[in-house]
C-alpha cells in the first residue's frame, strides 16, 4: 500500500502491482468468498464472538491503512458498515505482511479472517490472521475516500458518489424504501400491479412533447411513453377495477432542477371510488411511504420543516391564485383579458408562447400561486383546458374534476377524482387538442382512436392518479435538484474533442 508514485500516475503504479501479483500466482480477481458475517453482525454480536474467540471472515472494500513498522491498522467496509482491522507481521507472516503492504491498495476488495479484540482506546477491531485479495482496484477512490464534491463527476460517475458520500447512499435507500412501501400499501388495498407499453404508436395520457424512435422491422415510428394512463384505463374497461403501474416515462422537454427527460411515475386507477374516499386514500398512501422511510412525518427541508401530518389543506385552483395575486380567473375568459389583469397587478408574465387560455391560466398559477404553496396542499378543480382526460364539474363546466398535491412549489401528485368516461366528449376533447397542435402547441394531446373505441365499450366511474417518484423523493430528502434523486440522470454527452 505504498502510495509513493513519483512521476508515474497512481493508475500506472496500481497496474504494475497487478502484474506483480499475477507473476506471483496470486489471483487478483478471485471467485472464492467465505464470508461468515457482515460488519454490522460483528458489531452487534461483538461481546459473544470475542468471548468465544470465534474465527470470523468479513468481505469488503479496504478504505484506509496506517502502517507502523511491524503492525498496521486499516478499515474495511461492506454494505452494513465499517470496522477496524489490526495486522501484525509476526501473526500473518513476513511474506504475507510484505505483500499486503506493498501490493494491496485502498479501494481493493479484500477478505479478512481473524478474531475480535477491543483496542486500548475502546474500538472494536478484527485481529487479522489472514487477508487475501478479492478484486484489485486499478483506480484510486475519489479524493482518498474523503468525499466527492464535483457535481459533474457525482452525476456522471454515480458509483463514486455512492462510495464517497454517505448522505447520497442514504437518499437512494430512502427512495427504495418508499417505492417498496408504496407497493405494500397498494397490494394490501387489493390493487393489481401491471405493465403497459413503453413504445407507443401514439403518445398520450399527458400534455408533453414525446421522444420519437423508429422500429426498423415494422418501418414505423414509435414514441416513448409520456404516461401509461390510456393503457391503464383500457384495463379498467377490461374489468380490472383496481390497477396500478410503477415505471419509467419519457418527456422530450427541458432539463432543470425539477425536470429530467426520463423519470419514474406511479399511475393508479380505481373504479367506483368516491371523491373524498379517493383523496383520503392518496393522502394515506403518501404518509405511509414517508413514515416508513423516515419514521416521522416532520421532514427537515433547509431551514424549514415539511409537515406531512394529515389532513392537508384543500383549496381550489381559483382560490390559490386569488390568494397569491388577487386575480380571479373566473372574471377573465380570454388571453387578452387575463394579460390586462396581470399587467394591472404589475406581474411579469409572458403569455406569448401559450396556446389557448388554459395554458395562460397555467402560467399564471406557476408564476404566482404555486411557489407560495410550501406545506403539502391539495389544489382542486384545474381549468378544463388543462385536463383533457378528466370530467368537467357539473357545477362549473369550466373546471375539471382534478386535484394535485403541491409541496414546496412543485406538483407531486396529479389526480382526477372523476376520470372522463364519455367517449363522445373524449373524442371532442381530443379534437380540440388536435386543433391546438395544429396551431403550434407541442404539448397538446393527439387523437387516439384506439382509446376512444375502448371507451365506447364502456368504462365505469373511475378515479386516477399519477405520482412522480423522483420529485417526491427529492423534496423530502432536502434535495433542491431532481438529479439528486435519480441514480443516473440525463446529462449532455462529454465532448470527445
Residues comprising the binding site?
411
Q: Which residues are annotated as a binding site for Mg(2+)?
A: 411
24: which 3 cell numbers? 506471483
Give the C-alpha separation, 108 to 131, whole Å. 12
For the chain, give the number of residues. 497
Give the C-alpha separation, 317 to 348, whole Å. 20
Q: Is 331 exposed, middle or buried (0-12, 13-18, 19+ CB in 10 A)?
A: exposed
Contacts of 295 (CB under 8 A, 6+ apart): none
Contacts of 221 (CB under 8 A, 6+ apart): 212, 213, 214, 215
129: which 3 cell numbers? 490472521
92: which 3 cell numbers? 500473518
Residue 380 contacts residue 403 (beta carbons within 8 Å): yes
Three-state secondary structure string covering 280-330: HHHHHHHHHHHHHHHCCCEEEECCEEEECCCCCCEEEHHHHHHHHHCCCHH
113: which 3 cell numbers? 479472517
Amino acid at each position: 500500500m505504498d502510495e509513493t508514485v513519483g512521476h508515474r500516475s497512481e493508475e500506472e503504479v496500481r497496474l504494475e502491482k497487478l502484474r506483480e501479483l499475477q507473476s506471483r500466482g496470486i489471483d487478483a480477481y478471485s471467485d472464492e468468498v467465505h464470508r461468515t458475517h457482515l460488519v454490522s453482525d460483528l458489531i452487534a454480536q461483538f461481546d459473544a464472538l470475542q468471548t468465544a474467540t470465534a474465527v470470523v471472515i468479513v468481505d469488503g472494500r479496504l478504505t484506509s491503512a496506517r502502517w507502523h513498522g511491524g503492525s498496521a491498522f486499516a478499515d474495511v467496509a461492506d454494505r452494513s458498515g465499517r470496522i477496524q482491522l489490526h495486522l501484525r507481521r509476526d501473526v500473518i507472516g513476513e511474506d504475507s505482511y510484505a505483500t499486503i503492504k506493498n501490493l494491496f491498495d485502498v479501494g481493493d476488495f479484500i477478505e479478512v479472517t481473524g478474531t475480535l479484540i477491543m483496542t486500548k482506546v475502546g474500538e472494536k477491531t478484527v485481529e487479522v490472521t489472514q487477508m487475501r485479495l478479492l478484486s484489485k482496484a486499478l483506480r484510486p477512490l475519489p479524493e482518498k475516500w474523503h468525499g466527492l464534491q464535483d457535481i459533474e463527476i457525482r452525476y456522471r460517475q454515480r458509483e463514486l458518489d455512492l462510495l464517497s458520500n454517505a448522505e447520497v447512499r442514504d437518499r437512494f435507500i430512502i427512495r427504495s424504501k418508499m417505492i417498496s412501501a408504496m407497493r405494500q400499501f397498494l397490494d394490501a388495498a387489493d390493487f393489481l400491479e401491471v405493465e403497459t407499453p413503453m413504445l407507443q404508436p401514439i403518445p398520450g395520457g399527458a400534455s408533453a412533447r414525446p421522444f420519437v424512435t423508429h422500429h426498423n422491422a415494422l418501418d414505423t415510428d414509435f414514441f416513448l411513453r409520456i404516461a401509461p394512463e390510456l393503457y391503464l384505463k383500457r384495463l379498467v374497461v377490461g374489468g380490472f377495477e383496481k390497477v396500478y403501474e410503477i415505471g419509467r416515462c419519457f418527456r422530450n422537454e427541458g432539463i432543470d432542477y425539477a425536470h429530467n427527460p426520463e423519470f419514474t411515475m406511479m399511475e393508479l386507477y380505481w373504479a367506483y371510488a368516491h371523491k373524498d374516499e379517493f383523496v383520503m386514500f392518496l393522502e394515506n398512501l403518501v404518509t405511509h411511504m414517508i413514515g416508513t422511510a423516515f419514521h416521522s412525518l416532520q421532514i427537515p427541508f433547509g431551514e424549514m420543516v415539511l409537515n406531512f401530518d394529515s389532513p392537508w389543506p384543500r383549496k381550489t385552483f381559483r382560490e390559490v391564485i386569488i390568494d397569491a395575486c388577487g386575480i380571479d380567473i373566473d372574471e377573465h375568459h380570454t388571453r387578452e383579458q387575463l394579460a390586462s389583469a396581470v399587467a394591472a397587478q404589475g406581474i411579469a408574465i409572458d403569455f406569448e408562447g401559450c396556446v389557448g387560455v388554459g395554458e395562460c391560466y397555467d402560467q399564471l398559477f406557476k408564476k404566482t400561486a404555486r411557489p407560495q404553496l410550501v406545506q403539502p396542499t391539495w389544489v382542486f378543480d384545474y381549468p378544463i383546458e388543462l385536463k383533457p382526460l378528466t370530467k368537467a364539474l357539473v357545477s362549473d363546466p369550466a373546471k375539471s374534476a382534478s386535484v394535485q398535491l403541491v409541496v414546496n412549489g412543485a406538483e407531486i401528485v396529479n389526480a382526477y377524482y372523476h376520470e372522463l368516461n364519455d367517449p363522445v366528449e373524449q373524442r371532442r376533447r381530443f379534437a380540440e387538442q388536435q386543433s391546438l397542435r395544429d396551431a403550434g402547441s407541442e404539448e397538446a394531446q393527439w387523437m387516439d382512436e384506439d382509446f376512444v373505441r375502448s371507451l365506447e365499450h364502456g368504462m365505469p366511474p373511475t378515479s386516477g392518479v399519477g405520482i412522480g417518484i423522483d420529485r417526491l423523493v427529492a423534496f423530502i430528502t432536502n434535495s433542491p435538484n431532481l438529479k439528486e434523486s435519480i441514480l443516473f440522470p440525463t446529462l449532455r454527452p462529454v465532448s470527445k474533442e
